[in-house]
Every structure is written in structure tokens, then in C-alpha cells.
Structure 1
Amino acid sequence: MRGGEVVQVVGRAVAQALSERRVRADAVVERAVGLLAGRARCRIADAYRHLLRIAAEQGADPAVVAGRMIRLLDHVDAPLSPFTGADLVTDRLAGVEELAGLGWGEWDLVTGEVYWSPQLYRIYQRDPALGPLSRAEGRLAGVSDGLSLRDAALAATQSRDRVELVKRVTINGRIRRLRTVVDTVRDPDGRPIRLFGIVQDVTEQPVSAQRLAEVERKLDEQRRAADAEHDLALRLQEIILPIPDEPIELPGLKAAVRYLPAGQETMVGGDWFHAAALRDGSVLLAVGDVAGHGTQAASNMAQLRHALRALTVVDSDPATLLGHLNRLTCELESETPELAATAVIARFDPHRFRLTWAQAGHPPPLLCRGGRTEALHRPAGPMLGVLEDARYASTVIDFRPGDVLLLYTDGLVEHRGQSLDTGLNAVIHTVDDAVRAAPLQPLAELVGRLRRANPDDDTCILAARPSTGGTRDLRHHLLGRN
């Protein structure tokens, strides 16, 4: 609750007051304000100010106006006794004061009487038996202009009904900063007749503001560092993993690639692909996934991808290549603890239309043939980096013109809110629909339709289809060459 609102809420029950009668009368005001706020759907502070304004305009006691308002709003015909609920009001005011660290006072400009609440005495560290500060004592306590807080409030309210002041005062030899919010009650001629003030010690607030500024500065530094890391990861990913805009031709094969980044821009991931013609005229296709996000994941991904490219110079068997990548991942784990990666590698022989493939803990490829898509049965093979002496099996299938092969990472099918089968079936339906919609050019149609299942994970998709125009000699064409 802000100081201005508290002053109005606390001020609406004028007091613990100068007399038992006034305290009891305040219970009537309390109830009237509550009813008015509820019926008019306004803030209690606004309802209280409205009641005081009516009383001032009519020159009437606020308790009398409140009693009439209660009978009107609560449909009560019997007169309301002002001697009901005084203790409740007193307890409520004391609770508000203690909770908010506020004190409040009242100055009757007609009689000169001044009232301080118990909390206001605590703020001034003054014995209640001494009563409120006199005007002379208040002037002595002022630090800057010699005005007491009471005189400064009176001067400010000559032209306004509500003012806010912050003054430095001396309390027990120490300088404190007191914030005061003052409401003015005027007579029918507009002259101020009573001031209600809420006082709060705000000496420590500048320190809190400095601490807040320091926290904001550190957060800003962290944001800039995160943005710089994200930009670096993006540039690194663009350098090591360029994505072609159009399907490209390889010996006896067409391939299309699409990369779907994670929904959060800062989550640059470790998904990768490789598609290249080999010296013997065959084609190597691969998709992999390094766990994690950021520059470290992108760096590990780059090492695996470039290692695969180098290894194909001496060996093109998918199971053997996975064995080499597994040993490399185990070595990388010494630099990156808990490094985990998966991959699927396929070698296509365009002369025999045969596809040999192996996998390392990776989701199964999908094969669409004759308008029907199925997941291929996975040969044995653990994730990369789990076992140093892991062995990988391979399997061989026919891959003929008209077929469509889809390699992908787990972000396409896995989501914590659904089963793997549910995600896989959704992708299978998408493949079937894409092939039916564009039987002659299915690759672009397919990669354009696919959407990641998991917004927190990036996804790499590689779709391939045997060419029907012969096996052109494109052995030196490497997709994604730097």
C-alpha cells in the first residue's frame, strides 16, 4: 500500500482520538466508507475522501453524514449507534500502522489540538506522556529551513487539498528523513480546518535505491553477456552448419534440409547434418544431436561433424564411422562432463539402390514407399560417449526411385507432454500427406510442412529421394562446404 493510499485509509477513522466519543463515532465512518466503496466499486480511500467532502460542504459532523449514508446504503431503518465497533477500529488502525511502518496525526486548526498515534511517537522516539511536539520543538528539530513538519504541511495545504512532503529532522541527535502525506478538510468557505497526516521514516530508502540500482546494473551486465554468447553461438552455427535454401543434387540422390531453432532465441543447440558425395560414387547422409545449448553445444557439434567428414576419406561404413565418433565423444567428455550425443549415418549406393545405415541412440529414420510411411527397425547401437568400446550394427535396405527417406533429430517427435509414439505418428501422417500432395517434388513440400514437437529443443531434418535421371558424377560436391 502506497503512502498516499494509507493516509486516506488510516485517516478515515479519525483517531483513537481526543475523546471516547470521537473514537466511537469513527466506527460509524468506517462502516459507511466500507459500504460506499462496495456499492460504488471504488477504493476505500476514495470513498473516505468523498464522505469528508460531503461533510465539509454541509458543515456537518462526518459521523452524522456517515450514519445517514449507512441507512441509505444498508437499508437499515433503525438509527445506528455510534458506540459500536470502536475497539475493532482501534485495533485495525494499530495493525495498519505497525504493518506499514507508518504513524499518523491530526491537527485541529480551530481548537489547536494535536493528536499523534502510538506509531508516530515511536518514529520520533518520544515518550507519549510528553505529548506531541510543540511548534517550537518542531522548529528546533528541523534541519534545513527551520520549519517544523507541522508548519510546512500547513503552508503547503493553503492551495492544495493533498500534499506530500519529505523533510530532514533531528531525532535523538541523528538526522532522519520523514515523508509526510497530508489531507486537508475545509469549511464551506474553503478554509482549512483540519489536517490529517501520515508520516513514514524513509531514511533507509536511498540505501535501498542504491542497492536496487546495483542489482539492476549486474542484471544488465548478465543480459549483455548472454546476448553476446547467443550472437557468438549463432555465428558459429552459421559458419559450421550452413543450411541450403533449395533441394540439392548428389549422385543418384536429391536431398533437402531444414533447421528449426528452439522457440527461445537464446537456446542455440547442437543439432547437425552432413550430406556429401564420396570418392567411390556413393553418398553419405547423417544427422546428429549433441545435448545442450549455447556455444559449448555448438562447438561439440562442430567437432563431431568435421570429424565425420574427415573419417569418410578412409572409411565409409556407417557402423565403423559411429565407432570412431563414439571414441571421439568419450575423449571430448573429459573437457565437457556429461557430454551426450546421438547420430544416424546412412550410405547410399546409387548403382544398386541400396542404403546401409547405423544409429547411435537416435530416433529411427522414416521410409515412405508406395504412399505409406513406416519407421525403420533400428540396429543395435548405444548413444555416443556412453561406452568407450561400444559396437554398432548396421542394416541394409532397398532405396529406389519413388521412395522418400527422412532423417531427423528428436526435437521433431519428442515432447514431455506426449508419448514418443504420439509424436512419431504425427510426423508419419505429415510425410504421407506431403508425398500425396506433391508426388513429383515431395522433398520441399515435406520439409516445409514439418514442425518441431518440442519448442525448447532445436530440430534438424534431412529428407532424401533417389533420382530418376541416372547417377551424375557429383563426387566433388559437398553440401555445406565451408
Structure 2
Amino acid sequence: MGGRQAYIEAVESLRTAANRPSGDAARSVVDRAVGLMAGRTRCRLADAHRHLLQMSAEQGRDLLEVAAGVIGLLDVPDQQERRGTPAVPASIFPPAVGVAPVRHTADWVPVVRGVLDAMPGQHSLLIPVRDSTGRLHDLEVAAASPEAVAADGLRGPALVGARLGEHFPQALVSERWPIYERVLETGEPAEIGPFHNAWGCYSVRVHRLGPALLVTWERHEDDQVESERIAATERLGNLGWGEWDLVSGEVRWSEQLYRIYERDPLLGPLPREESEALSLAEDLPLKLAAVEAFERGEQVDLTTRVRVNGRIKHLRSVADAVRDASGAPLRIFGIVQDVTAREAGLQRLAEVERQLAEQRRSLAAEHQLAAKLQQIILPIPDGPMALPGLKVAVRYLPAEQEGMVGGDWYHAAALRDGSVLLAVGDVAGHGTHAATTMAQLRHSLRALAVTTADPGVLLGHLNRLTCDLDEENPETAATAIVASFDPVRRRLTWAQAGHPPPLLSRGGRTAPLPRPSGPMLGVVEDATYECAVLDLEIGDVLLCYTDGLVEHRRRSLDDGLNAVIRAVDEAVAASPRQPLGELLSRLEQANPDDDTCILAVRPVTGETQDLRHYLRGR
């Protein structure tokens, strides 16, 4: 008591002195306030001291005055002081409350607010409001900590000015109200609860602070609600927990653990022998390694398989123990999670990955076979070919994607009668089937040309062949252009079967030729194909191609055709006497999704120079 009285006298002398010394008494007051703030808020002393200085600056008050207010708020008086001796100077607190509502103009209220601002938990300062007889009528909130939350949702500073009678009328008629009155009258602190109301379960601690009450409250989780939350979490994660007391031998399982093992809870946890019997023998090395790690004091985390009611389950177990001083386990506790669905998903993913790898190997083998087959049956000449009355240049542009070997083909050869047979075709699809069909059509055309040079008749024969192939391999179809060139009259007779029209460059302008009628090969049995006639002139360039040249996933068909027409015009303008090499050099961009075959021809005289050196290196 003597030490506390000396402290009070020191505070009073500090408050009244004009020039406060920085001696032991002043440091003692500040240190005491800092210590109380750090202890109540669980912060470092340096942080508490910094906050005390901040309070002094924000309130425009002397540091010692603020420190004294903090001490008065946080230093709970002992029993002797409660009987009459004040814990802090009377000047810190406002006058006694009369019949009128409290006025919050006293200097001590800002001090309390500043202290509560730094305190964790839910705290409030309640000022009594009395009626004309002096009887306690209500309590009004004068300060509140930031974490303070009332049952109706008011929080922190929003609570200031609220009265219990207006916002929490049930408090005025509860068993807590007489306790509030008694604490105000006697100064004896009180603890109330836990008690239940409409908003949950609470505990309240009440201290008298001068003429007011410092109230601290805490909301408790309802045991039933907490149990339901834990159970819901276990079901959501498909996991359960268990404990094994090695001293008493008692074993406890959660409800979800019984569900995982599909066991009736009335039977109790599985005995050790039955539990081990469920394990698969193949997992024994894993379990032995886990036991060794557990004996070394490590936490165990492993996934093993068990057979439950004839079905295999994958269970992940995480186990640890409470051990004695020697490290021997006293109580084992663990969590078991059913990860069967996850493991099954991983196995399915591994199977899909295996199948994809096998498919890639199969596609690569098919691609190699189709490419070799294509090279054998469709050799591409290194440079332009000289045929009667024509120069012919060929380029094959493979697709960018691996495994996309197509059925694009060409034919250019002189016949016994002195004419020239030209053809370009495209078999639907890719791979070995397309390459095989392409070979059959090309070789059949060459054999049929012995009997006739009429393009329409030749396409009719190829159509019947394709229809026969379709019966063996459904969805076999193709497009083609077949042309016969008479070098004497420079006359080209041609027919088409669903194929893009040739492009004719004449006089510096390029345009597609009007197509004679004719359906795709393999679609209509006994189809007929009309022929068209074109007289070529010296300087003309005729371009036949498959659809990969004009079709592209990033542009429309019209855009693709216009780009090819521009390339032809530019090539002829750049090299009008020998345009084929220039043209093929400008058509090197392959379609990433399809092969492309290009056949370019122009009529020539005997004075035409060989163009082989223009294509060298390409």
C-alpha cells in the first residue's frame, strides 16, 4: 500500500508541476503504463511505448497525464483500495453522475478510448445513466475496442453513444443487471456466465472504473455447433480421426472413421488384428518403413490399400504421438482420409497417358509408312519438265503437322499420239489410306490413258473405281482435274470432278477458269463429266492446284484465292519470259493442316530456254 500511495503522490506532483522533471518518478509512471499496456495487449514493450507517445500527440496532452490515465484504467485496485482509497487521482475521473444524462466532456474518456483502441478482445466503457431518484436507469457506451461486437451487429466506434435500453433491452431485465448495479456500488469485480441468449453463448467480466464500468465479453462456440462443424468438415474431406491411449488401452474413433471402414459404431473400433488383416500384402514394406520412422519419433504420412467389404480402398494415414521423456509413445493420434477417388483418377490419367503415347507411336509409324509410300508412287521432279509444246513445273508442299500426309497427287506425261496428259487430284483424308487410294487413282489414270485421252471419259472411269473403293472403305472420296493438251493447236481440253478451278494468267491478269460440271469422285455412281476447251497462247501460264493452296484456318477461301492470284500476277510481272520458277518460289507457304500439290504449265516454242537453273536449291 505504501508503494502505491507513493506512486499516487508522485503522479499528483507531476500533474501540478509547471516543469515536470525527467527523474525516477516520471519514468516510473511511464514505465508502469507501458508495462500494463504491453501485458494487456500482448505486444512488445517498444510497441506499447510508441502507442503511448502517439496517444499523447493525438490528444494534445502531457505524456505523464496520459500514462496516469492508462494506469487508472488497466491497474485493477486491490481489496483495501476498493474500500476507500482511490487507485488514481480523483481529478482523472469526472464528477459524480447526477439525474441528468452523462456528458462526455471529461478528459479521462479520450484516455480510455485511446487505450481501448490498442487492446485486443471485446471491451467497452459504460457510463451509468440514473433517474431523478438516483437509481440506475441505463448504461451508455462511452468507448469500445475495435474488436468489440454487439449482438445486433454494431462494432467498435459505432457502439459509442449506444444505450443498453435502446439496443439491448433484454440486458435491463436479465440477471446481469443487478450484478452491474452491485459492481458500481461496491467496486467488487464480477464474472458472469457462460450464459445463453438469442445470439449465442457469452461470458462477461465487469470492473468498476471510477464512476463507470469497464466490461469485457467473449462469445463462446456452442458445443453442438462446433461438433456439427467438425463432422461436416470430416465428411467434406472424407476423413476421420482416431486416438489410442497406450497406457489405458482405450481406442476412440470419430463417426467418419467408422464410415470409411464401413463398420457399425456399436461394435467399437477395429481390433488391431482385424485392422491388419484388411491390408494388402503388397503394401507391407511401406507399413514396415512407416513403423521404423514412427519409432524414431517421426510423424508418419503414408497411403496404403485395404480391402473393405470386397472393395479396395486407398487410405492416407497421418499419425503422431504424445511421448514421455524417453521418447516412448504414450498416446497415438491420427487422421485417416479415404483417397480412393483421387488414386483412381491418377490411375485413369496414367492409363490415358499410356494410350496417348501408344497412339503417338502408332501415328508416327503410320506417318513414316505413308511418307515412304508417297515418295515411291509420287516422285517430284527437281526442275521443270519439257513435254511436247509445254513446260511443266511441279511443287509439293507438305502439311506442317506431323502425321498429316495426304492424298494429293499429279500426273504429267506425253501419250503415244503426241498429246500430253495432265492431272491433279486430292483424296479426302490423311495417312496410309489416303496415300494408298491416291496411288490407285494415279496408276489407274495412267493405264486408262492407253484406251482414251478424253478427260470426261477418264474421270468417269476414275469415279467408278472410287465408288468401288468406297464399298471396301466407307467415306472414300476424291477430287481431280484431268486435261489433254494438243501441242499442234495448243488446245487444252479439260474436265473436273469437284476440284478447284485452274487459274489462267493472260496479258498480266489472272482469273479462275469457268468449271464444267462434274461431281466429286466416289459420290455419284455413273456420273458424267463435261469437258471445256481452252486455246493457250504464248505467254499464258496455267496453274492447277489442290485445295491446300487456297484453304487456311486463319483466312477465308476468297482471301486465300486472292492471295494466290496476286502471287501469279507478281511472278509473271517479275519474270515474263520464264515465270514458272518465279511463281513456284512465291508459293512456298504450306497449309499447316493439309498437303498441297501445284502443277504450273505454259506453252512454249522451240526457242524457250531451259528453266532448271531457276529452281536449283529449292
**Same fold at TM > 0.5:** yes
In the other structure, the counterpart of 1:312 is 449
1:280 is aligned, of 396, 417, 424, to 417
Deviations 1:414-461 (A, max 9, x none): 356654323221221222233334444432332333367853332211
Deviations 1:91-145 (A, max 9, x none): 5654453344322346799999976432123234555567667xxx547744699
Name the CA distance, whole Å, in 2 between partners of 1:381 and 1:176.
65
CA shift for structure 1 position 167: 6.3
Structure 1's 451 and 125: CA in aligned 2 closer, same or farther, altered over 3 A? Answer: same
- Which residue identity lines up with residue 383 of structure 2 in the other structure? E
Name the CA distance, whole Å, in 2 between partners of 1:194 and 1:204.
31
- Which residue identity lines up with residue 242 of structure 1 in the other structure? P
Name the CA distance, whole Å, in 2 between partners of 1:387 and 1:168.
61
Query: The residue matched to 1:400 in structure 2 has which SS?
Result: coil
Deviations 1:151-175 (A, max 9, x none): 9979735767643135688989999
Normalised TM-score (structure 1): 0.66
Deviations 1:232-281 (A, max 9, x none): 22222111111223233223322222222334322322211101122233
In the other structure, the counterpart of 1:460 is 597
Query: The residue matched to 1:179 in structure 2 has which SS?
Result: strand
CA shift for structure 1 position 327: 2.7
In the other structure, the counterpart of 2:64 is none
- Which residue identity lines up with residue 374 of structure 2 in the other structure? Q
In the other structure, the counterpart of 2:137 is none
- Which residue identity lines up with residue 370 of structure 1 in the other structure? G
In the other structure, the counterpart of 2:201 is none
In the other structure, the counterpart of 1:83 is 220
- Mapped contact 2:366–2:432 kept (Cα < 8 A): yes
- Mapped contact 1:415–1:453 kept (Cα < 8 A): no
- Mapped contact 2:505–2:511 kept (Cα < 8 A): yes
CA shift for structure 1 position 293: 2.0
Name the CA distance, whole Å, in 1 between partners of 2:419 and 2:288.
95
Structure 1's 167 and 341: CA in aligned 2 closer, same or farther, altered over 3 A? Answer: closer
Is 1:102 aligned to residue 239 of structure 2?
yes
CA shift for structure 1 position 377: 0.9
* % identical aligned pairs: 65
Is 1:410 aligned to residue 520 of structure 2?
no
In the other structure, the counterpart of 2:28 is none
In the other structure, the counterpart of 1:254 is 391
Normalised TM-score (structure 2): 0.53
- Which residue identity lines up with residue 289 of structure 1 in the other structure? D
In the other structure, the counterpart of 1:156 is 293
Structure 1's 150 and 214: CA in aligned 2 closer, same or farther, altered over 3 A? Answer: closer
Name the CA distance, whole Å, in 1 between partners of 2:305 and 2:472.
60
In the other structure, the counterpart of 2:371 is 234
- Mapped contact 1:351–1:471 kept (Cα < 8 A): no
Structure 1's 101 and 375: CA in aligned 2 closer, same or farther, altered over 3 A? Answer: same
In the other structure, the counterpart of 1:38 is none
Q: Name stretches of at least 5 consecutive residues in structure 1 with no aligned partner.
A: 1-66, 473-482
1:445 is aligned, of 555, 562, 582, to 582
Query: The residue matched to 1:333 in structure 2 has which SS?
Result: helix
Name the CA distance, whole Å, in 1 between partners of 2:564 and 2:290.
73
Name the CA distance, whole Å, in 1 between partners of 2:336 and 2:571.
72
1:298 is aligned, of 417, 435, 455, to 435
CA shift for structure 1 position 393: 1.9
Name the CA distance, whole Å, in 2 between partners of 1:388 and 1:181.
72
2:507 is aligned, of 351, 370, 379, to 370
Is 1:123 aligned to residue 282 of structure 2?
no
2:533 is aligned, of 396, 400, 424, to 396
Is 1:358 aligned to residue 495 of structure 2?
yes
Structure 1's 323 and 286: CA in aligned 2 closer, same or farther, altered over 3 A? Answer: same
Structure 1's 282 and 94: CA in aligned 2 closer, same or farther, altered over 3 A? Answer: farther
- Mapped contact 2:398–2:590 kept (Cα < 8 A): no
Query: The residue matched to 2:318 in structure 1 has which SS?
Result: strand
Deviations 1:171-216 (A, max 9, x none): 89999875312468999xx999997632135789999988877766
Query: The residue matched to 1:334 in structure 2 has which SS?
Result: helix
CA shift for structure 1 position 83: 2.8
1:343 is aligned, of 480, 502, 505, to 480
Structure 1's 452 and 382: CA in aligned 2 closer, same or farther, altered over 3 A? Answer: farther
Structure 1's 218 and 246: CA in aligned 2 closer, same or farther, altered over 3 A? Answer: same
In the other structure, the counterpart of 1:429 is 566
CA shift for structure 1 position 283: 2.0
Name the CA distance, whole Å, in 1 between partners of 2:473 and 2:312.
57
Instruction: Pick which of 251-260 and 356-365 moved more.
Output: 251-260
Instruction: Pick which of 369-378 and 395-404 moved more.
Output: 395-404
Deviations 1:292-344 (A, max 9, x none): 22222222211111111112223222222222222322333332333222111
Name the CA distance, whole Å, in 1 between partners of 2:305 and 2:477.
63
The higher-RCO structure (CA 8 Å, 6+ apart) is 1
- Mapped contact 1:103–1:198 kept (Cα < 8 A): yes
Name the CA distance, whole Å, in 1 between partners of 2:350 and 2:470.
41
Name the CA distance, whole Å, in 2 between partners of 1:430 and 1:87.
81
Query: The residue matched to 1:326 in structure 2 has which SS?
Result: helix
Q: Name stretches of at least 5 consecutive residues in structure 2 with no aligned partner.
A: 1-118, 123-144, 149-215, 610-618
- Mapped contact 2:400–2:593 kept (Cα < 8 A): yes
Structure 1's 304 and 442: CA in aligned 2 closer, same or farther, altered over 3 A? Answer: same
CA shift for structure 1 position 357: 1.6
Structure 1's 317 and 177: CA in aligned 2 closer, same or farther, altered over 3 A? Answer: closer
| Residues paired across the two proteins, number | 397
Deviations 1:330-388 (A, max 9, x none): 33333233322211112223333332222111110001122221111112222223333
Instruction: Pick which of 361-370 and 217-226 moved more.
Output: 217-226
Name the CA distance, whole Å, in 2 between partners of 1:174 and 1:346.
70
- Mapped contact 2:423–2:480 kept (Cα < 8 A): yes
Name the CA distance, whole Å, in 2 between partners of 1:150 and 1:265.
47
- Mapped contact 1:283–1:348 kept (Cα < 8 A): yes
Structure 1's 154 and 458: CA in aligned 2 closer, same or farther, altered over 3 A? Answer: closer
Name the CA distance, whole Å, in 2 between partners of 1:154 and 1:76.
50
In the other structure, the counterpart of 1:328 is 465
1:53-92 correspondence runs (5 A): 77-78=147-148, 81=218, 83=220
- Mapped contact 1:412–1:451 kept (Cα < 8 A): no
Name the CA distance, whole Å, in 2 between partners of 1:396 and 1:87.
94
CA shift for structure 1 position 84: 5.3
Structure 1's 76 and 198: CA in aligned 2 closer, same or farther, altered over 3 A? Answer: farther
- Mapped contact 2:405–2:595 kept (Cα < 8 A): yes
Structure 1's 378 and 140: CA in aligned 2 closer, same or farther, altered over 3 A? Answer: closer
Query: The residue matched to 2:472 in structure 1 has which SS?
Result: coil
Cα RMSD (Å)? 4.8
- Mapped contact 1:344–1:360 kept (Cα < 8 A): yes
- Which structure has the larger Rg over C-alpha atoms? 2
Instruction: Pick which of 367-376 and 439-448 moved more.
Output: 439-448
- Mapped contact 1:106–1:196 kept (Cα < 8 A): yes
Name the CA distance, whole Å, in 1 between partners of 2:217 and 2:576.
86
- Mapped contact 2:121–2:147 kept (Cα < 8 A): no
